[in-house]
């Protein structure tokens, strides 16, 4: 080794010292150069991770001052409009954090905003994974871990929302308890068990505290670790592009490119959270007042991620029935237990359902462009529409008063729209995807429309098509065409009845539903023929012209008349201009 | 004139003419519509307040509330509603109602002068006993306890008017209005008369002292600073959600895209 700079000497010395003790060099050498593909949508999960770090940091600060107790105290802090009022210690200590702890309000607001961003980023990240088919083999388990993380995120958020024991959070808990009680047979037992008696009792906040600061964050941390380890070992998926195949990863190494990018992005996320934590009020608990079971505020809403559940409750018609003297509240049980149950189960099982329907057992490291999986994209948009409509329902009273509408009309609109709009959105999305596929096919066959208009010698105007560049070509041809499964035979060669005929028939039909309308990529021969055809189409279809000086015409080709010295065909004319049809 | 003449055939000339005509008609209408019926006040000196009130009532109110204030299918009876109800409804511009709707909306300014409102109040009060217009003393909340008022407010008012007094939606397009611009007398009158969908909170339910405490708390809310920064209308999670997705998340995604672009 030749002489190195002092920096390298010191760095090398440290690396050797550490390596001799924990054997880190081999590990680092192998992993620091790991390549990741680049796309902005791959950073959505990063937003979630970074906001979660902010949540942990600010949350740790809050635990120093928050007292998770429902014991009654008389408030004696700096917020005058509540002075001398009876309240729980939890609420009183949250007021103290807001008004009497230095920097307390800033950190409380950062904690709350970061939590909202955390769940928002997880959700959008999930949409990205869904619409690009990143959940396909071999990443199904990681998808399930992701669904678990979203669910835990909702739990973390709701438990945190409920801790300050203000009027809003108490109202939320009251609804949560009502939802528990709506579960037939075990509901009432469950509610009494969890709350330690009647509502609101004296136990629940301290129980929830343990869940909020220990159980859920612990689980989230553990699952995030596995989530990232799997990304590491399975390697990150990539969009189709030049040089990208199912067997490689094209991108930049972790060190130094992603170290810098991810590090910088962490500080951006942290900065944005700090900025809005300082500038924009969130959850002003001092205005809502302490929770009293006999009080409630108009416009009581949960945080955004529970909004769709609240919307489901608000939109559901009021149906109850009585069985053996017990009331079954379908109006609560269906929207708040059954519908979320179905949604989360379907979400977790989707990769397996799709793989079963499509019979796809291959590994996928190349992402689907959403247009290339029209049925999946349609299903996603359909689910999203349903979700967003429920979300609107959660804010129906605020919408009514803000826009001067009748809340009853909004509810009826949503009841009808929830049934009608999602299927319409499915069909529309699917058609749009198929049209985009057709356009891609056109581009491969005839190039893109250059926007350059050319006047041919006989007067006709044509638009010049240019061949697409290599990058776009790679993106479009990165698509894999899948043929639908064939219908199974009803009997085998010996005439024995196929035992699984019905199931297999269903599967073949669903597979046809998924793939039958697929616009297949053109073959190389078709592309060749397409180009050739395009060159001649204009020439053949061009109208005949009667020139007065017909004696000068020496040759007619494809119906187009030519003067001496002019290009003989339209294609030649185009070639001179550097394009083709 | 040369400037105009040169441009009279411009394609924008017709648009400009139309705009001028519209502004002219609008301005003319505004002048005529805002001309108050001043002659009524001039006659008033020769008649008693109740007589004047009755005349104004017959002119402006009887078509809906009935010639004898007995009420019709268009409006409720006014017998026994008291002077406070007239002062509140007409004083806030809710009456006379501009058009049939879910409920009467306040208008600023009111459609009658203070003297005319007082005359109509006197007339309606002469029909039968009812809640009187609160005195200065009634609405004096200086010595009241805001914190106690807050408890009363959250128990009795916030389920419709929202915890921060920002108002809330009721059924069929009806609503509880925002209290952020409500004056002490208005609040007091609303409590004793129960306008629109609001229940009556008589002195037997909420004594004067407690009413003053509530008014004090509303006054506190009106003047309360927002230590957390931008208040987002103090409407809770819905505007927070809108802000989160339209501003914060959009900004984060913009940064992500920016970082992504830099890679190429």
Query: What whole-number distance in Å separates Cα of residue A560 and Cα of residue A460?
Result: 10
Asked if residue A334 and residue A224 are part of one domain, the reply reads yes
- What count of other Cβ atoms lies within 10 Å of the Cβ of residue A51? 27
Retrieve residue B9's tokens: 């055939």
Q: Chain B: residue nearest A285 by CA?
A: B236
Query: Per-residue pLDDT for chain B (264 aa), expressed as one digit of tens each?
Result: 678 788 878 888 888 999 999 999 999 888 887 765 555 544 445 678 999 999 999 999 999 999 999 999 988 999 999 999 999 999 999 988 888 888 888 888 888 999 999 999 999 999 999 999 999 999 999 999 999 999 999 999 999 999 999 999 999 999 999 999 999 999 999 999 999 899 999 999 999 999 999 999 999 999 999 999 999 999 999 999 999 999 999 999 999 999 887 554
Strand, helix or coil for residue A72? strand
Interface touch B159/A120, C-beta < 8 Å: no
Question: What is the per-residue pLDDT for A3?
Answer: 58
Phi, psi of A571, rounded to the nearest 5 degrees: -65, -40
**Surface of A (164-183) touching B: CB under 8 A:** 167-168
Asked if residue A201 and residue A350 are part of one domain, the reply reads yes
Q: Chain A: residue nearest B230 by CA?
A: A280
In chain B the first and final C-alpha atoms are separated, in Å, by 60
**Surface of A (5-44) touching B: CB under 8 A:** 38-41, 43-44
The Cα-based distances of A83 to A141, B141, B148, B165 in angstroms read 53, 17, 9, 19
* A308 chain-B contacts, CB cut-off 8 A: none
Question: What is the per-residue pLDDT for B107?
Answer: 86
Determine, yes or no, domain membership for A75.
yes
**Surface of A (73-112) touching B: CB under 8 A:** 80-85, 98-99, 105, 109
* A407 chain-B contacts, CB cut-off 8 A: 169-173
Q: B119 and B164 in contact (C-beta within 8 Å)? A: no
Q: A335 and A313 in contact (C-beta within 8 Å)? A: yes
Q: Tell me which of A312, A333, A368 is where a domain ends.
A: A368
Q: B9 and B16 in contact (C-beta within 8 Å)? A: no
Strand, helix or coil for residue A86? strand
Question: What is the per-residue pLDDT for A487?
Answer: 84
Interface touch A405/B160, C-beta < 8 Å: no
Rounded mean pLDDT, A260-275: 95
Q: Chain A: residue nearest B168 by CA?
A: A298
Partner A contacted by B169 (CB < 8 A):
yes
Determine, yes or no, domain membership for A199.
yes
Closest CA–CA distance from residue B113 to any residue of chain A (Å): 29
Three-class secondary structure assignment of A325-390? CEEECHHHHHHHHHHHHHHHHHHHHHHHHHHHHHCCCCCCCECCCHHHCHHHHHHHHHHHHHHHHH
A384-388 own/partner pairs: CB under 8 Å, 24+ apart: A384/A127, A384/A425, A385/A421, A385/A422, A385/A425, A386/A418, A386/A421, A386/A422, A387/A308, A387/A343
pLDDT at A547 over 50: no
Determine, yes or no, domain membership for A304.
yes
Determine, yes or no, domain membership for A342.
yes
Q: Angle A188-A190-A196 (CA atoms, 0-180°, nearest 5)?
A: 100
Q: B141 and B215 in contact (C-beta within 8 Å)? A: yes
Q: Which of B217, B221, B230 sits opposite A280 (nearest CB)?
A: B230
- CATH superfamily placement of domain B46-133: Cytochrome c-like domain (1.10.760.10)
Q: B125 and B82 in contact (C-beta within 8 Å)? A: yes
Partner A contacted by B197 (CB < 8 A):
no
Question: What is the per-residue pLDDT for A25?
Answer: 85
Of the candidates A331, A58, A368, the one whose C-alpha atom is nearest the C-alpha of residue A175 is A331
Interface touch A407/B162, C-beta < 8 Å: no
**pLDDT tens-digit readout, A279-326:** 999 999 999 999 999 999 999 999 999 999 999 999 999 999 998 888
Question: What is the per-residue pLDDT for A386?
Answer: 97
Query: What whole-number distance in Å separates Cα of residue B85 and Cα of residue B102?
Result: 19
Determine, yes or no, domain membership for A394.
no
Strand, helix or coil for residue B72? strand
Which DSSP category does A258 fall into?
Answer: I
Task: Give the helix/strand (H/E) hosting A555.
Answer: strand A555-557
Which DSSP category does A469 fall into?
Answer: P
Asked if residue A462 and residue A319 are part of one domain, the reply reads no
Partner B contacted by A117 (CB < 8 A):
yes
Strand, helix or coil for residue B75? strand
Partner A contacted by B225 (CB < 8 A):
no
The Cα-based distances of B78 to A360, A467, A568, B38, B132 in angstroms read 77, 82, 96, 26, 14
Q: Angle A367-A370-A375 (CA atoms, 0-180°, nearest 5)?
A: 115
Phi, psi of A133, rounded to the nearest 5 degrees: 70, 25
CATH of residue A75's domain is 1.20.810.10
Closest CA–CA distance from residue B161 to any residue of chain A (Å): 6
Question: What is the per-residue pLDDT for A561?
Answer: 43
Rounded mean pLDDT, A63-70: 96
pLDDT at A430 over 90: yes
Query: What whole-number distance in Å separates Cα of residue A249 and Cα of residue A39?
Result: 13
Closest CA–CA distance from residue A88 to any residue of chain B (Å): 14
Query: What whole-number distance in Å separates Cα of residue B198 and Cα of residue A524?
Result: 76
- Chains A, B: CB pairs < 8 Å: 194
Of the candidates A103, A127, A105, the one whose C-alpha atom is nearest the C-alpha of residue A48 is A127
Query: What whole-number distance in Å separates Cα of residue A164 and Cα of residue A93?
Result: 8
Rounded mean pLDDT, A407-436: 96
* Length of chain B counted residue by residue: 264
Strand, helix or coil for residue B89? helix
Q: Is the ipTM of this structure higher than 0.90?
A: no
Closest CA–CA distance from residue B254 to any residue of chain A (Å): 9
The domain of A534 spans 453-467+521-581
Q: Which residues pair with A74 in a beta bridge?
A: A86
Q: Which of B158, B160, B263 sits opposite A38 (nearest CB)?
A: B263
Question: What is the per-residue pLDDT for A534?
Answer: 55
Question: What is the per-residue pLDDT for A454?
Answer: 82
Max avg pLDDT among A2-6, A56-60, B105-109: A56-60
Q: What are the residue ranges spanned by the domains of chain B?
A: 46-133, 134-235
The beta-strand segments (E) located in A386-482 are 448-455, 461-466
Q: Are strands A252-253 and A35-36 parallel, antiparallel or unpaired?
A: antiparallel
Partner B contacted by A388 (CB < 8 A):
no
Partner B contacted by A271 (CB < 8 A):
no
Three-class secondary structure assignment of A185-217? CCHHHHHHHHHCCCCCCCCHHHHHHHHHHHHHH
Task: Give the helix/strand (H/E) hosting B164.
Answer: none
Query: What whole-number distance in Å separates Cα of residue A24 and Cα of residue A17?
Result: 10
Strand, helix or coil for residue A137? coil
Characterize A187-224 residue by residue with b for buried, 16 or more Cβ atoms within 10 angstroms of its Cβ, and e for exposed. beeebbeebeeeebeeebbbebbebbbeebbeebeebb
Q: B213, exposed or middle or buried, with CB in 10 Å at 0-12, 13-18, 19+? A: buried
Asked if residue A312 and residue A460 are part of one domain, the reply reads no
Determine, yes or no, domain membership for A66.
yes
Rounded mean pLDDT, A417-428: 97
Tell me which residue has tokens 């009792």: A201
Closest CA–CA distance from residue A39 to any residue of chain B (Å): 5
Interface touch B234/A82, C-beta < 8 Å: no
Partner A contacted by B220 (CB < 8 A):
yes
* Length of chain A counted residue by residue: 581
Partner A contacted by B73 (CB < 8 A):
no
CATH fold of the domain at B134-235: Cytochrome Bc1 Complex; Chain D, domain 2 (1.10.760)
Of the candidates A422, A366, A68, A88, the one whose C-alpha atom is nearest the C-alpha of residue A245 is A366
Handedness of CA B188, B191, B194, B196 (dihedral sign): positive
Three-class secondary structure assignment of B173-237? HCEECCCCCCCHHHHHHHHHHCCCCCCCCCCCCCCHHHHHHHHHHHHHHHHCCCCCCECHHHCCH
Strand, helix or coil for residue B136? coil
What's the structural domain count of chain A?
2
Domains B46-133 and B134-235 equal at CATH topology level: yes
Determine, yes or no, domain membership for A120.
yes
Query: What whole-number distance in Å separates Cα of residue A197 and Cα of residue A182?
Result: 17
Helix axes of A24-31 and A6-22: crossing angle, nearest 10 degrees: 110
Partner B contacted by A256 (CB < 8 A):
no
Query: What whole-number distance in Å separates Cα of residue A209 and Cα of residue A216?
Result: 10
Partner A contacted by B194 (CB < 8 A):
no
Phi, psi of A390, rounded to the nearest 5 degrees: -60, -40
Partner A contacted by B232 (CB < 8 A):
yes
Closest CA–CA distance from residue A302 to any residue of chain B (Å): 6
Asked if residue A460 and residue A361 are part of one domain, the reply reads no
Determine, yes or no, domain membership for A411.
no
Characterize B80-92 residue by residue with b for buried, 16 or more Cβ atoms within 10 angstroms of its Cβ, and e for exposed. ebbbbbbbbbbbb
Closest CA–CA distance from residue B69 to any residue of chain A (Å): 30
Q: Chain A: residue nearest B156 by CA?
A: A295
More confident residue, A1 or B143: B143
Q: B245, exposed or middle or buried, with CB in 10 Å at 0-12, 13-18, 19+? A: middle
């Amino acid at each position: 080794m030749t002489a190195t700079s002092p920096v390298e000497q010191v760095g090398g010395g440290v690396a050797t010292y550490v390596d001799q003790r924990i054997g880190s060099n081999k590990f680092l050498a192998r992993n620091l150069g790991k390549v990741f593909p680049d796309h902005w949508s791959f950073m959505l999960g990063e937003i979630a991770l970074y906001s979660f770090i902010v949540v942990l940091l600010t949350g740790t600060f809050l635990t120093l001052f928050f007292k998770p107790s429902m014991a009654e105290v008389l408030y004696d802090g700096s917020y005058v409009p509540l002075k001398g009022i009876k309240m729980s210690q939890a609420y009183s200590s949250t007021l103290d954090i807001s008004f009497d702890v230095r920097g307390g309000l800033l950190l409380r607001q950062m904690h709350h905003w970061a939590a909202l961003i955390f769940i928002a980023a997880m959700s959008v990240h999930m949409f990205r994974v869904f619409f690009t088919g990143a959940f396909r083999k071999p990443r199904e388990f990681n998808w399930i871990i992701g669904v678990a993380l979203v669910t835990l995120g909702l739990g973390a958020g709701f438990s945190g929302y409920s801790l300050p024991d203000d009027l809003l959070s108490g109202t939320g808990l009251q609804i949560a308890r009502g939802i528990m009680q709506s579960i037939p047979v075990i509901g009432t037992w469950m509610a009494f068990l969890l709350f330690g008696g009647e509502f609101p009792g004296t136990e629940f906040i301290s129980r929830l505290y343990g869940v909020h600061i220990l159980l859920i964050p612990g689980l989230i941390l553990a699952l995030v670790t596995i989530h990232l380890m799997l990304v590491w070992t399975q390697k990150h998926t990539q969009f189709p592009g030049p040089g990208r195949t199912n067997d490689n990863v094209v991108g930049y190494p972790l060190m130094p490119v992603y170290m810098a990018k991810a590090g910088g992005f962490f500080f951006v996320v942290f900065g944005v959270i700090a900025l809005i934590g300082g500038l924009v009020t969130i959850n002003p608990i001092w205005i809502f007042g302490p929770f009293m079971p006999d009080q409630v505020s108009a416009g009581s809403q949960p945080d955004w991620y529970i909004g769709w559940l609240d919307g489901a409750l608000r939109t559901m018609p009021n149906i109850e029935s009585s069985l053996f003297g017990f009331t079954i509240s379908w109006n609560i049980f269906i929207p708040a237990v059954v519908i979320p149950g179905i949604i989360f189960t379907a979400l977790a099982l989707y990769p397996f359902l799709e793989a079963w329907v499509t019979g796809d057992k291959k590994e996928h490291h190349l992402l689907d462009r959403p247009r290339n999986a029209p049925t999946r994209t349609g299903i996603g948009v359909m689910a999203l529409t349903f979700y967003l409509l429920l979300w609107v329902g959660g804010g129906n009273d605020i919408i009514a008063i803000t826009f001067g509408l009748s809340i009853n009309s909004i509810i009826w609109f949503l009841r009808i729209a929830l049934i009608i709009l999602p299927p319409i959105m499915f069909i529309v999305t699917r058609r749009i995807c198929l049209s985009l596929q057709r356009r891609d096919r056109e581009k491969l066959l005839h190039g893109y429309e250059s926007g350059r208009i050319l006047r041919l010698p006989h007067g006709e105007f044509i638009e010049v098509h240019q061949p697409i560049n290599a990058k776009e070509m790679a993106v479009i041809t990165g698509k894999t065409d899948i043929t639908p499964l064939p219908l199974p035979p009803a009997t085998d060669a010996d005439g024995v009845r196929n035992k699984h005929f019905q199931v297999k028939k269903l599967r073949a039909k669903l597979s046809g539903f998924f793939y039958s309308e697929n616009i297949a990529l053109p073959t190389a021969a078709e592309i060749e023929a397409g180009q050739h055809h395009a060159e001649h189409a204009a020439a053949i279809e061009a109208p005949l012209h009667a020139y007065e000086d017909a004696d000068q015409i020496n040759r007619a080709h494809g119906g187009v008349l030519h003067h001496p010295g002019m290009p003989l065909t339209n294609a030649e004319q185009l070639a001179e201009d550097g394009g083709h049809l | 004139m040369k400037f105009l003449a040169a441009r009279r055939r411009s394609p924008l000339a017709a648009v400009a003419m139309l705009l001028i005509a519209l502004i002219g008609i609008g301005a003319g209408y505004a002048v005529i519509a805002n001309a108050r019926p001043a002659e009524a006040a001039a006659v008033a000196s020769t008649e008693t307040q109740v007589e004047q009130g009755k005349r104004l009532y017959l002119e402006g109110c009887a078509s809906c509330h009935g010639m004898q204030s007995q009420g019709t299918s268009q409006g409720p009876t006014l017998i026994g509603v008291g002077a406070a109800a007239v002062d509140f409804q007409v004083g806030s511009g809710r009456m006379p109602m501009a058009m049939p709707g879910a409920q009467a909306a306040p208008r600023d300014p009111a459609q009658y002068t203070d003297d005319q409102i007082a005359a109509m109040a006197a007339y309606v009060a002469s029909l039968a006993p009812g809640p009187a217009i609160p005195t200065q003393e009634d609405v004096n909340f200086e010595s009241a306890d805001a914190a106690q008022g807050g408890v009363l407010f959250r128990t009795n008012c916030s389920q419709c008017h929202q915890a921060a007094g920002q108002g809330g939606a009721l059924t069929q397009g009806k609503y509880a209005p925002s209290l952020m611009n409500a004056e002490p007398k208005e609040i007091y009158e609303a409590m004793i008369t129960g306008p629109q969908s609001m229940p009556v909170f008589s002195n037997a339910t909420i004594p004067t002292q407690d009413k003053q405490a509530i008014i004090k708390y509303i006054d506190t809310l009106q003047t309360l600073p927002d230590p957390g920064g931008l208040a987002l209308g103090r409407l809770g999670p819905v505007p927070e959600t809108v802000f989160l997705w339209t501003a914060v998340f959009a900004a984060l995604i913009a940064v992500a895209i920016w970082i992504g672009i830099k890679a190429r």
